[in-house]
Each structure stands twice: as C-alpha cells, then as structure tokens.
C-alpha cells in the first residue's frame, strides 16, 4: 500500500510534467532529475515563500554566487580533505558501493557516526560480499564527493570544484555584505541555488541527487548575543514538537520547554526550528510527520556547538532531512582568514570579533518531494494533490463548457483578464468538463472556472473548489479578487 502510493505519485509526476529523470533519451543518469512545467512552478512558489519569510519578514539579504569555485575555497573549508564518503569496490565485477550504506542494508543497523575502522571491521567480521555478484570486496577508501574541473587554459589554469554547498560562497563576500548592510548584527544572508555532490551510487530518486537545489541562510551574529528577541521567540515558542536528542531520548514538548530544559542549547536555533516548521506546514508538508533530531556528538562537525535537523518520516524513504540548523561558530570565516589573509573581524558595540554563524540550510528538492507525498489524496475515484493555494502550479483553469455558441470566445476573454492580472492559469477545452476537472485536480489546481450559457446572459462563471468540489457563481469582474483572497 505504502509503496503503491509512491508508484502512483511517480507515475503522475512523470506523466503530468511535475518531475522526471533527466537525460531520458540517453538512458538517464542516476542522481539527476528535471523539473517539468508543473513541478517548476511549484518549486518557484516554494522558493518565493522562503524569500518572503527570510527577506521580507526576517530582514535577510539575498545573494547569488557562482557554483563553480576555485580550489582554495574548499581547501580552507576542509572539503578537499574531508568531504568524502567511504567507498568500496567489488574485486570481481568492479561495482562501487557506499560502504556505510552496504553495511546498513546488510545488517539492518544505522552507521551514523561510525568510523572507517568500525565499518571495515563489520564488513570483514560479517563477511559482507558484493550484493550483485557475491564477489569479495576490496579495501575501503575515502572518495571525495566534489566534482572537479579545470578553470581556464594554459599555464594559468586553476583546479575548480562545483560547490557542495552554497554556504562558503556566501562567506567569501562577508566583508562586502558587512558594508552593504550598514555594519549591523545580526546580518542574515540567503542564497538559493544549485549545489553538487558526486554521490557514489544514488538510488533514491529525488531524495539523493547529484545536482540539487538549496536555500541556505547564513545568520551572522555577535558571539555573545546568540538569541532573538523575546517578542520574536514568542511567535514560535508554543509550537509542540517531537524531538530526538543526541542521546536518542525522545520528547514531545513546546519549543520554549525544549530551550528551558536545555534540550535545544540555543534559543536562536529553537527559533529557526519553529520558523521552519511553520514554513513546511505553509508549503503543504504534513506536520505530524516531522521530527526534530539533534546530531550526535560523533556526527556533528567538530566546530559546531549544536546542530538540529528537521526530518520528515516518509512512507517510502524513511527519514528525510529537510533542513539542518547549526551553530557554525566562527569556524568558516576564521578558516578563510587563515588561508587568504583577509581579515573578517568586525568592530561592533565597542568589541572586535569574528562573527559567529547560525546556519539554516534547506534542501529544496526533498521538501518538494515531501509536499507531493503529503498532498496526495485518493478519494472515491479521485486522485489529486491538495497543494496549498500558494504552492499550486496554477491558481486556476479556464474551461468553456462546450466548444461552440460563442462560449470559447467568452472563455478566452476571461482567460485574458486573468493573464492581465498576472495570474498563472491555463486554458483547457478538450474532453468533457468532468475530465478537465480531473486533469486540473491531478496537478493540484485549486480552482476551475467554467464559462457556460448563463455566462453569456449574466456575465457570471462557475468556480469549482478542488477540495470541497463546491461550485459557486461569481461575476467575471470579481474573479481575480475572489481567487486572490482564497
């Protein structure tokens, strides 16, 4: 049943242009997906909601940096040295595996935080073989997950990497941003864009992509002032959450209690967890399936004082990380200072220091998938996505009841009015009205507008609500304001 839902979602996603595997004519390459026309509109809507929350509401700035980046950036950040997965190859057939995933699958355990030696030992002791040909496995080694290339020709050529995260490309501009924001803290900087991870063997559809979208916010703060105002915190403090702390203790309490009991170490982390929970609910993710998970000591980056993820419990994929919120301290700015010689310290409130960073790192593709899984409804014979109005690919479909008697002309008039009001909508005149409703439902369009014989008489149309299936009559002049206030 569960898997079946996934298959149905995937089938609709491919057939109706939500998402589909990239490069299909050439057989596809694992870890790459295209957003089709419907999916791209939903993705845009999600990204724009993140902008509203972080730029307009939280006062952050947005930047856009290149994805191709010279090597020094990733030497400083530590990625050249340690952004790797443990890999093992079959000595017989040559198949490459991620060693921890192989062990997890074979022994049905979690390898979170296990070292190379631990995993090596498990493979030897449990005599794990190649799942494909049963051949023996070779030595485990660190495989760097960054895509490498050369920038420029000849003697001046540089090694470049495709960025594995947006964060470092934001940090590099810190001194410019400090001037631009008029030298005040906190300073929040959002970057939305593609990042890359040369996964060893991605096999989980949209959940593990080699090229993916991120929305990462670097929130620069005074190290002695890592909290938001009580007024701000009061917006989220009563949200009840499920938590799993680093000792694997489970809790169900409010964010305020979680901070008071020091389960979440920093109030500002709790604030952004709350803001993210609201955001996920607004884009249509089922809040009942969300859990806050603290990184274990051995899993957390050594410089971070505390890191929390929000995870979605997917029917198909199990735990899916949607956002990571982390106190990155002054680690990154200091690392770039040490390698580049550029000073990133600021003088603020009479003190000189390198700002600390609270990072809020959203994936886009994973939340997108979780929206699909959360919104998919089967009801009688209907299948539809109950996308929130703000997220739906189109606000409305426009249908002439029949293709004669001047109804198409009138329907085109209505379509034109909506377009002039910059409303994303579509026109459909093929098949029966029932079929057109079903098609609109299938991609989660909230409103269907039908132009019928009464329209010619009294200038009203029928607007059908996707969720309630109720139909009301609205004057053509009122359509836009009706749709907008919904």
Q: Taking CB under 8 A as the criterion, which residues in 270-309 touch a copy of itself?
A: none
As a whole number of angstroms, the distance between CA 456 and CA 459 comes to: 6
- From the CB of 289, what's the least distance to a copy of itself, in Å? 26
Record the tokens describing residue 139, joined without a space.
């030595």
**Structure tokens of 467?**
């969720």
Helix 116-125 vs helix 99-107: angle between axes, to the nearest 10 degrees? 50
Give the β-pairing of 318-329 and 158-162: unpaired
Residue 34 beta carbon to a copy of itself: minimum distance, rounded to whole angstroms: 5
Contact pattern from residue 62 through residue 81 relative to a copy of itself, giving x for each residue in contact according to CB under 8 A and a dash for the rest = xxxxxxxxx-xx--------
Nearest CB to a copy of itself, comparing residues 35 and 385: 35
- Contact stretch for a copy of itself (CB under 8 A) within 11-19, 109-117, 399-407, 475-483: 11-19
Choose, by CB under 8 A, the member of 1, 125, 139, 153 that binds a copy of itself.
153
Q: What is the pairing mode between strands 396-400 and 425-427?
A: parallel
- Residue of 9, 16, 79, 280 interacting with a copy of itself (CB under 8 A): 16
Site for a copy of itself in 35-64 (CB under 8 A): 35-38, 40-41, 43-44, 52, 55-57, 61-64
23 touching a copy of itself, by CB under 8 A? yes
Strand partners for 323: 310, 362
Neighbours of 329 (CB within 10 A): 19
Q: Show contacts with a copy of itself in window 162-191 (CB under 8 A).
A: 162, 169, 172-173, 175-177, 179-182, 189
| Contacting residue, 4, 8, 11, 15, with a copy of itself by CB under 8 A | 15
Q: Does 485 bind a copy of itself (CB under 8 A)?
A: no
Judged by CB under 8 A, which stretch of 158-166, 227-235, 281-289, 460-468 contacts a copy of itself? 158-166
Please select the residue that binds a copy of itself; options are 32, 227, 303, 353, rule is CB under 8 A: 32
Shortest Å distance, C-beta 53 to a copy of itself: 11
Taking alpha carbons only, the member of 148, 146, 147 closest to residue 84 is 146
Decide: is 469 part of the binding site for a copy of itself (CB under 8 A): no
| 86 within 8 A of 140, measured Cβ to Cβ | yes
Q: Give the whole-angstrom CA distance, residue 182 versus residue 190.
A: 17
E-state strands within 235-380 = 240-244, 250-254, 290-294, 307-314, 318-329, 346-348, 351-353, 356-363, 376-379
What is the DSSP code (8-state) at residue 33? E
CB atoms within 10 A of CB 177: 18
b/e map 138-147, b = 16+ CB within 10 Å: eebeebbbbb
Residue 249 interacting with a copy of itself (CB under 8 A):
no
Binders in 195-214 for a copy of itself, by CB under 8 A: 196, 198-201, 210-211
342 lines the binding site for a copy of itself (CB under 8 A)? yes
């Amino acid at each position: 049943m569960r898997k079946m839902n996934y298959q149905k979602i995937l089938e609709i996603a491919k057939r109706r242009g939500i998402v589909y595997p990239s490069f299909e004519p050439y057989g596809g390459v694992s870890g790459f997906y295209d957003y089709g026309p419907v999916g791209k509109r939903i993705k845009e809507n999600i990204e724009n909601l993140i902008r509203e929350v972080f730029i307009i509401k939280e006062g952050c700035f947005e930047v856009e940096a290149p994805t191709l980046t010279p090597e020094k950036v990733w030497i400083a950040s530590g990625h050249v040295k340690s952004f790797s997965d443990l890999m093992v190859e079959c000595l017989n057939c040559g198949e490459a595996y991620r060693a921890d995933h192989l062990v997890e699958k074979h022994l049905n355990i979690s390898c979170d935080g296990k070292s190379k030696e631990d995993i090596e030992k498990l493979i030897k002791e449990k005599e794990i073989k190649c799942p494909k040909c049963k051949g023996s496995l070779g030595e485990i080694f660190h495989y760097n997950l960054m895509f490498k290339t050369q920038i420029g020709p000849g003697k001046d050529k540089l090694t470049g990497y495709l960025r594995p995260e947006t964060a470092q490309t934001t940090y590099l501009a810190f001194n410019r941003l400090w001037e631009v924001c008029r030298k005040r803290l906190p300073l929040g900087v959002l970057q939305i864009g593609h990042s890359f991870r040369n996964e060893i063997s991605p096999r989980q559809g949209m959940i593990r992509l080699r090229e993916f979208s991120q929305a990462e916010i670097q929130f620069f703060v005074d190290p002695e002032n890592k909290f938001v105002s009580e007024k701000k915190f009061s917006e989220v403090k009563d949200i009840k959450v499920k938590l799993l702390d680093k000792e694997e203790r489970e809790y169900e309490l409010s964010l305020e209690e979680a901070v008071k009991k020091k389960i979440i170490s920093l109030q500002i982390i709790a604030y952004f967890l709350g803001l993210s929970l609201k955001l996920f609910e607004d884009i249509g993710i089922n809040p009942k399936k969300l859990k806050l998970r603290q990184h274990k000591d051995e899993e957390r980056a050594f410089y971070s004082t505390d890191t929390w993820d929000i995870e979605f419990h997917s029917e198909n994929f199990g735990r899916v990380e949607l956002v990571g919120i982390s106190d990155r301290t002054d680690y990154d700015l200091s690392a770039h200072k040490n390698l580049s010689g550029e000073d990133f310290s600021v003088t603020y409130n009479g003190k000189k220091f390198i700002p600390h960073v609270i990072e809020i790192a959203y994936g886009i593709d994973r939340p997108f998938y979780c929206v699909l899984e959360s919104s998919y409804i089967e009801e009688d014979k209907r299948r539809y996505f109950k996308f929130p109005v703000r997220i739906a690919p189109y606000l409305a479909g426009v249908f002439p009841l029949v293709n004669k008697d001047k109804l198409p002309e009138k329907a085109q008039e209505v379509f034109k009015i909506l377009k002039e009001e910059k409303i994303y909508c579509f026109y459909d005149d093929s098949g029966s009205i029932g079929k057109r409703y079903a098609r609109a439902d299938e991609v989660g369009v909230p409103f269907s507008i039908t132009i019928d014989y009464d329209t010619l008489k009294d200038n009203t149309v029928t607007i059908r609500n996707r969720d309630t299936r109720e139909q009301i009559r609205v004057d053509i002049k009122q359509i836009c304001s009706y749709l907008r206030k919904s």
